[in-house]
């Protein structure tokens, strides 16, 4: 047994030596988590050395059906043995079925779909379509946004990744993110005055624009921006601003789409219908699948102008088959309702943690997308990067994987997004570990 442990350690040392020597580090200052993940099932990850880790981020906020869902595994096995990849000009039944079924989950007039691979690709295609249809080139997004790392998507991303890469495409503008916990425009009661903030933001846009405003691209809940959810009514007012200027509204539901917030789509809460909707992450439930959805009118206008956007894996049958299985499970198991139920349990547990620990400044989010912001002082909302790092590290030691967002001007914000298939016991376990980790970290000198 001792020899086996020694051999395992030796193998692990070799693994990390190879990783350190051969892998490009792609997350800025972040380091790889020092665990070798061997397999995963449901809500848990399992390491090579036998540790069991509860996954409170659904992988990359994607695995809404948990890991290795048996129906996804069966679909992959069946479809891969039958038809996995095609020339971009050919079609298969899984692709057309998924396009039709997505349209059936959406309000009119969203009925045309382009199936791609990643969120960055879908946002790139949406922005490209908006520019072509409007004949304009300027793009507006939130100052805490994340839309991807390809050219147009990166140009619309402001939460990270802008420094050091030279000029982006001209015509990218940011408006303030409506953060109710840290308001920059306040009313007489000290609450966020989002209407005045929105007016101010577009006054600045109008002053900078050369008269070529094409689109505004937004997330219904800014996840990488610190789980910021604009207040009810905000998106209706934003859409009015777009209409006044002849702009299209693009909604990026990479993380919020397909039941996570308790609605099939987060934009439904506000009664708006975007001109273009992008989906990714949750659509493939952890597999690479994304989509752009728009109206027949917009698609026709784009087609008439020679719309060109395809990739090696556009309309591939294998991921499309997975997308159909994801819809099967979401609809059959009513996972929108389950997200509301589990989200209520999660919210109640987080509020109890906040009651016990003064370092919890704010709790926000909807359904099974929650944010918990850490502060050193509730009155001043003073932040501490060290505290967030300590809590994250302690959670992992105790068997819980958490992700924390560290951005200037806000405290460390935990993004909490368990699978929609999680059990009440798993939610309770995660809350208990988080509670203990916060207590341990806050109690350290």
In angstroms, rounded to a whole number, what is the distance separating the alpha carbons of residues 238 and 272? 10
Active site residues: 146, 219, 252, 255, 281, 415
Tell me, what DSSP letter sits at residue 1? -
In angstroms, the CA 147 to CA 124 distance is 9
Residues 6 or more apart whose CB falls under 8 angstroms from that of 96 comprise none
CA distance 443 to 363: 21
Q: Which of 211, 264, 274 is CA-nearest to residue 104?
A: 264
Quote the strand ranges of 120-236, DSSP E.
138-142, 172-175, 213-218
Which DSSP category does 50 fall into?
Answer: S
Q: How many residues does the chain have?
A: 445
Query: In DSSP terms, which residues pair with 172 in a beta bridge?
Result: 139
85 contacts 317 by C-beta, under 8 angstroms: yes
Residue 427, Cα to own-chain centre: how many angstroms?
Answer: 20
Neighbours of 75 (CB within 10 A): 21
Q: What are the structure tokens assigned to 341, written together?
A: 């139920």
Q: Which of 445, 437, 340 is nearest to 390 (CA)?
A: 437
Q: In angstroms, rounded to a whole number, what is the distance separating the alpha carbons of residues 255 and 418?
A: 12
Cα torsion at 5, 25, 389, 144 (round to 10°)?
A: -150
Beta strands in 321-440 (DSSP E): 360-366, 369-374, 400-401, 403-405, 412-416
In the chain, the largest separation of any two C-alpha atoms, in whole Å, equals 72
Strands 138-142 and 213-218: parallel
Other CB atoms within 10 Å distance of the CB of residue 212: 15
Tokens (6 digits) for 69: 């869902």
Sheet of 403-405, strand order: 360-366, 369-374, 412-416, 403-405
Looking at 179-288, which runs of residues are DSSP E strands?
Answer: 213-218, 248-252, 276-279
């Amino acid at each position: 047994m001792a020899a086996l442990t020694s051999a395992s350690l030796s193998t692990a040392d070799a693994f990390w030596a190879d990783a350190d020597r051969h892998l490009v580090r792609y997350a800025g200052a972040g380091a790889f988590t020092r665990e070798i993940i061997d397999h995963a099932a449901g809500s848990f990850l399992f390491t090579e050395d036998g540790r069991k880790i509860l996954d409170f981020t659904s992988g990359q906020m994607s695995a809404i059906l948990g890991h290795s869902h048996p129906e996804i595994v069966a679909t992959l096995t069946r479809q891969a043995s039958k038809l996995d990849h095609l020339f971009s000009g050919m079609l298969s039944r899984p692709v057309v079925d998924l396009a039709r079924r997505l349209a059936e989950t959406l309000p009119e007039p969203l009925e045309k779909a382009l199936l791609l691979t990643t969120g960055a690709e879908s946002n790139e295609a949406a922005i490209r379509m908006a520019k072509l249809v409007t004949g304009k080139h300027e793009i507006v997004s939130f100052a805490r946004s994340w839309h991807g790392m390809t050219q147009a998507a990166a140009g619309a991303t402001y939460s990270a990744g802008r420094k050091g890469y030279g000029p982006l495409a001209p015509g990218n503008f940011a408006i303030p993110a409506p953060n109710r916990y840290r308001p920059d425009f306040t009313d007489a009661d000290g609450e966020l005055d989002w209407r005045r903030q929105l007016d101010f933001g577009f006054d600045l846009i109008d002053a900078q624009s050369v008269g070529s405003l094409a689109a505004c691209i937004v997330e219904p809940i800014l996840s990488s921006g610190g789980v910021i959810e604009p207040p009810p009514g905000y998106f209706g007012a934003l859409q009015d601003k777009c209409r006044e200027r002849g702009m299209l509204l693009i909604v990026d539901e990479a993380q919020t789409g397909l039941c996570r917030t308790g609605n099939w789509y987060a934009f439904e809460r506000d009664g708006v219908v975007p001109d273009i909707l992008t989906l990714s992450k949750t659509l493939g439930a952890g597999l690479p699948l994304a989509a752009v959805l728009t109206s027949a009118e917009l698609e026709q206008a784009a087609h008439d102008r020679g719309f060109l956007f395809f990739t090696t894996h556009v309309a591939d049958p294998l991921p499309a088959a997975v997308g159909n299985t994801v819809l099967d499970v979401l609809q059959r198991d009513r996972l929108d309702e389950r997200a509301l139920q589990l989200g209520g349990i999660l919210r109640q547990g987080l509020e109890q943690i906040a009651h016990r620990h003064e370092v919890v400044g704010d709790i926000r989010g909807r359904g099974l997308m929650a944010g918990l912001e850490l502060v050193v002082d509730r009155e001043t909302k003073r932040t501490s990067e060290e505290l967030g790092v300590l809590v994250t590290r302690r959670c992992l030691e105790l068997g819980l994987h958490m992700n924390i967002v560290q951005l200037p001007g806000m405290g460390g914000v935990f993004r909490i997004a368990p699978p929609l298939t999680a059990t009440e016991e798993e939610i309770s376990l995660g809350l208990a570990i988080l509670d203990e980790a916060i207590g341990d970290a806050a109690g350290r000198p």
